[in-house]
Amino acid sequence: MTAKKYQVFVSSTFRDLVDERQDAIRNILDLKHIPAGMELFPATDVTQLDYIKKVIDECDYYLLIMGGRYGSMDAEGVSYTEREYDYAVENEKVVLAFVHDDPASIPVGKSDVKPEVVAALNAFRKKVMNGRLVRGWTTRQNLEPLVLKSLLHAFNDLPQIGWIRGDAVASEPLLEQANKLLQENADLKAEIAKLVSSNNVKVKDIADLDDAFTIRYESRHYSRGSSYTHTRRTVTLTWRQIFLAIAAELDTAKTDHVILVAVIEAVEQAGIGYKPDRMDDTDRVRIKVQMIALGLIETQVSKTTQGGVAEFLYLTAKGRALFIEGMVVRKSHTN
């Protein structure tokens, strides 16, 4: 199938969040999608704001990063960043917002100090915090994985129209034929799955939930300024840790990209400093197979919202029960 690319508008105040913006743009590019922003055309008058609106119209997602500044304001005392946000919301764009959790810790050089500007910033923060897809951040290092995870979730759970190369668009008859073949393929896979299930294959000596598994992944290492390289690393987690992280993401059926999101979360929960940017494909498949063998997840080939087909993961009844058991808060016993 033709790869669809999404366009993401990156919005923030400019000079105080240069590195954070660049990190977000790199994340979008690393995911093979298209970033858009106004680095070379800052909004300073109505004509430019109209141009920005046209750019937002062409985007599928709107990503906002908020720090300690309100930004340049128009004649009505409203910042251009807030104007962009309001326009994206009014036009029902999928908004991903990242708001600084501790404004008091931001250096003075990157914060507003005038009372009226601080009041406007706080009002804007309150407005944004009422949105649905809002995450808090405190440092550049912890913002980047939050952006990556949110983008992955949005692309999977809230797919938009996107862009396809003009020379890659097939004719309608070819598309119908391709969809028919894909559906036949999906039906055959479903039959195979039933046959495998009916054979009741038993796996001997399978690792249990408290056994450890070493995952290979790559993290970003910043060498100087905004430049970075990928460094190969490993992390050892128990199958229980891996499962609980995956299960937390399976509130609805998802494709196996959820495994990378879950590994990022598990690494964060384990307090390991180097967060995954991408993981070894073999290990991702091994994790999926292990969860299936343990009877905790099942897979099903289904139609996507875009008309194609894909393999989706979902929790079994056993998996749901184990997730609840692992996450429930129990009474504290005192003597």
DSSP letter string, 213-226: EEEEEEEEEEEETT
Q: Are 124 and 87 in contact (CB under 8 A)?
A: no
Within 10 angstroms of residue 65's Cβ, the number of other Cβ atoms is: 22
The two tokens of residue 169 are 């668009």
Q: Tens place of pLDDT for every residue, the chain, 335 residues?
A: 446 889 999 998 888 888 898 889 988 998 889 998 875 455 455 467 778 888 899 899 999 999 888 888 888 888 889 999 999 999 999 999 999 988 778 876 787 878 888 899 999 999 998 876 789 998 888 898 899 989 998 888 888 888 876 665 555 666 666 667 777 766 666 665 665 555 445 667 888 899 999 999 888 776 666 567 778 888 889 999 999 999 998 988 888 888 988 888 888 887 776 778 888 888 988 999 999 989 999 988 777 666 667 788 999 999 999 999 988 888 876 55
Which sequence spans correspond to the domains of the chain?
7-157, 170-198, 212-327
Q: Are 55 and 9 in contact (CB under 8 A)?
A: yes
The two tokens of residue 76 are 């009505």
Q: Are 69 and 111 in contact (CB under 8 A)?
A: yes
0.75 exceeded by pTM = no
Distance, in Å, from the CA atom of 3 to the CA atom of 31, rounded to the nearest integer, reads 12
Phi, psi of 218 (to 5 degrees): -125, 140
Closest Cα to residue 139, out of 32, 222, 234?
222
Distance, in Å, from the CA atom of 120 to the CA atom of 280, rounded to the nearest integer, reads 46
Q: Are 267 and 256 in contact (CB under 8 A)?
A: no
Distance, in Å, from the CA atom of 128 to the CA atom of 64, rounded to the nearest integer, reads 9
End-to-end CA distance of the chain: 63
Distance, in Å, from the CA atom of 216 to the CA atom of 285, rounded to the nearest integer, reads 12
Within 10 angstroms of residue 26's Cβ, the number of other Cβ atoms is: 18
Class level of CATH domain 212-327: mainly alpha
The domain 7-157 is classified under which CATH number: 3.40.350.10, 3.40.50.10140, 3.10.20.590, 1.20.1440.120?
3.40.50.10140
Tell me, yes or no, if the two domains 7-157 and 212-327 fold the same way. no
What is the four-CA torsion angle of 177, 178, 181, 187, rounded to 10 degrees?
-120
The two tokens of residue 284 are 């991702």
Closest Cα to residue 242, out of 282, 219, 215, 216?
215
